[in-house]
Amino acid sequence: MPLFSLRPNPCPNKQFRQLLGVGFGALMACAAAQADSLLIRNARIISGDHPQVQAPQDVLINQGRIQAIGRQLGSADRELDAHGQYLIPGLIDTHVHLDGVPGYAGSHPEDEPMLREARVQIPRSYAYFGFTTVLDLTGDAGFIAKWNAQALAPKAYFCAPVTIPNGYPLAWLDKNAQFQAAASRYMLFDPAQADVYPDGFPRQAHTPAAVVVQARRDGARCIKVFHETGFGRQRNLPTPSLALIRAVVAQAHQLGLPVYLHGNSQASYEFALQAGVDTLVHGMWHENKGGNQSAAQGGWARMAREILKAGIAVQPTVQVLYGEQEELNPDFFNDPKVVHAIPQSLARWYQGAAGQWMRKVLAEGIEGGAKNPAEQYETMKAAYQRPLGTVRQMTRQLLQAGVPLRFGSDTLSGPFYTQFPGVNGRWEMDRWLEMGISLPRLFTALTIENARALGLERTIGSVQVGAQADLLLLEQNPLQSVAAYDTIVLLILNGKAVDRQELSARGSKGAAQ
């Protein structure tokens, strides 16, 4: 008899019954090896399409789908007792940028192990904070396919970024790099800049119709356009004409693709109204210059009603501003959530001289000269009060008007370690509550409404028979407190159960893989 048969079978019982949280991790290998069906007993379901706590029921998952919901559903390869716990749909973030390691711009071979560990951890960090589906608003098909091949990653979709030369975001690239194949794939031929294109630039392949058709062929779920005159070192950038964007919108709608507009100013909100886009992907934090805030608010209320009438949804993305501000927070790395998102080696690098580069850029921009870090942080917070006030007030106007608000964290909007994947979405939830958005509304925005935005409401965003099994088990009720999202004990990612602790960056094993 070979020796190995004397070892105890790690998966001894097909009818294995297991209380949650007790040695669950050890069962994962068994789950992968044998189980296709999972029975969750006694769960209090809260579905995206029906945000109320239901009486305890059993949920049978088979081959990655919810097969049945009810009582006495028979047995399964694995069973869990979820008594006292809440079963909700996996969360959906419709504004992320998945490529790259936050705040890392160089290419030093000695950093490679750290970067490898970070790349392994990033998808897990999204999942750790409950995100099972994400939309990359400036994605490309090749990268998204690779992302989706990872074992413990939220499922990603992408929007094709339709750009003009020298505009946002291409202006951050070298003049020639913007015309190279990858960057210019969905670039428009802009008649207002006819002389900037290199000789032989194939104009016919870059009409609004042609780039939208190309995006659709590449598998994009949506089109992203930009109305941004710049910030930081890049200002007075050209923006696409209304005629150009209207033509993009017409073609996109003909092919069933929604159009997302990057815009965060009063001017870009007006542009969105005229262009007929579907979603504005930032809150409005730049008001018209020289205006008096209280006088402007009548105009904002009117604009909110027009946005409602035009059928445009808005992502407030307040965490964009917090990400910038918190880069100067000396206590940032002491936040207890951070350790679960950022691998230790990368956190150490961020706090060293090389990793502090963006913090230094921001600190140098503070008026009145350098002081100690605590004072710099206070000055920074004071500087962000006005844009934060504007975006909060405008979001309240949108709420009052009844404009649909979409949950999108814009992870990450710049080279900031403060917007690390997963945790940044969790903080955006806090920002929503601060603006007076109710917990049920936050819950539906994170689930069914984002599923609808992706055209996937039959597959994700609710707990219903036939849906993809992307689910979270929580110890607390997310309709009662936002902190309930911190009590996830188990994720079911495309039908596979994963203990939340396995996803934490603390004890990350990425570098060894």
Buried residues in 35-74 as b, exposed as e (16+ CB within 10 A): bebbbbbbbbbbbbbebeeeebbbbbbbeeebbebeeebe
Binding characters for Zn ion, 49-68, by CB under 5 A (x = yes): --------------------
- 327 vs 382: CA distance, rounded Å: 14
- 385 vs 259: CA distance, rounded Å: 31
Q: Are 108 and 499 in contact (CB under 8 A)?
A: no
Shortest separation between residue 211's beta carbon and Zn ion, angstroms = 19
Q: Are 346 and 117 in contact (CB under 8 A)?
A: yes
Q: Does 410 bind Zn ion (CB under 5 A)?
A: yes
Nearer to Zn ion, 226 or 271 (CB): 226
Q: Does 428 bind Zn ion (CB under 5 A)?
A: no
Nearer to Zn ion, 410 or 428 (CB): 410
CA distances from 338 to 334, 418, 419 (A): 7, 9, 10
Q: Does 136 bind Zn ion (CB under 5 A)?
A: no
- 297 vs 300: CA distance, rounded Å: 5
Shortest separation between residue 372's beta carbon and Zn ion, angstroms = 33
Shortest separation between residue 260's beta carbon and Zn ion, angstroms = 9
Nearer to Zn ion, 276 or 414 (CB): 414
- DSSP structure string for 412-440: TSSS-GGG-TTHHHHHHHHHHHHTT--HH
- 175 vs 180: CA distance, rounded Å: 10
* Contact region with Zn ion (CB under 5 A), list: 76-84, 387-395, 410-418, 461-469: 410-418
* Contact region with Zn ion (CB under 5 A), list: 67-75, 377-385, 404-412, 416-424: 404-412
Nearer to Zn ion, 128 or 168 (CB): 168
Q: Which of 220, 270, 267, 269 has the alpha carbon at shortest distance from 248?
A: 220
Do the bridges between strand 279-280 and strand 259-262 make them parallel or antiparallel, or are there none, so unpaired?
parallel
DSSP label at residue 191: G
Q: CB nearest Zn ion: which residue?
A: 410
Shortest separation between residue 173's beta carbon and Zn ion, angstroms = 16
- 390 vs 302: CA distance, rounded Å: 15
Nearer to Zn ion, 410 or 457 (CB): 410
Shortest separation between residue 410's beta carbon and Zn ion, angstroms = 4
* Contact region with Zn ion (CB under 5 A), list: 3-11, 109-117, 403-411, 432-440: 403-411
Shortest separation between residue 283's beta carbon and Zn ion, angstroms = 12
The H or E element that residue 94 is part of is strand 91-96
* Contact region with Zn ion (CB under 5 A), list: 43-51, 55-63, 245-253, 408-416: 408-416
Cis peptide before 169 (omega within 30 of 0): yes
Shortest separation between residue 463's beta carbon and Zn ion, angstroms = 29
Nearer to Zn ion, 140 or 410 (CB): 410
Nearer to Zn ion, 144 or 498 (CB): 144
Q: Are 44 and 54 in contact (CB under 8 A)?
A: yes
Shortest separation between residue 433's beta carbon and Zn ion, angstroms = 22
Nearer to Zn ion, 158 or 349 (CB): 158
Nearer to Zn ion, 98 or 439 (CB): 98
> How many residues of this chain interact with Zn ion, rule: CB under 5 A?
1
* Contact region with Zn ion (CB under 5 A), list: 304-312, 407-415, 442-450, 500-508: 407-415
Do the bridges between strand 57-62 and strand 65-70 make them parallel or antiparallel, or are there none, so unpaired?
antiparallel
Shortest separation between residue 350's beta carbon and Zn ion, angstroms = 21
Q: Which residues bind to Zn ion, rule: CB under 5 A?
A: 410
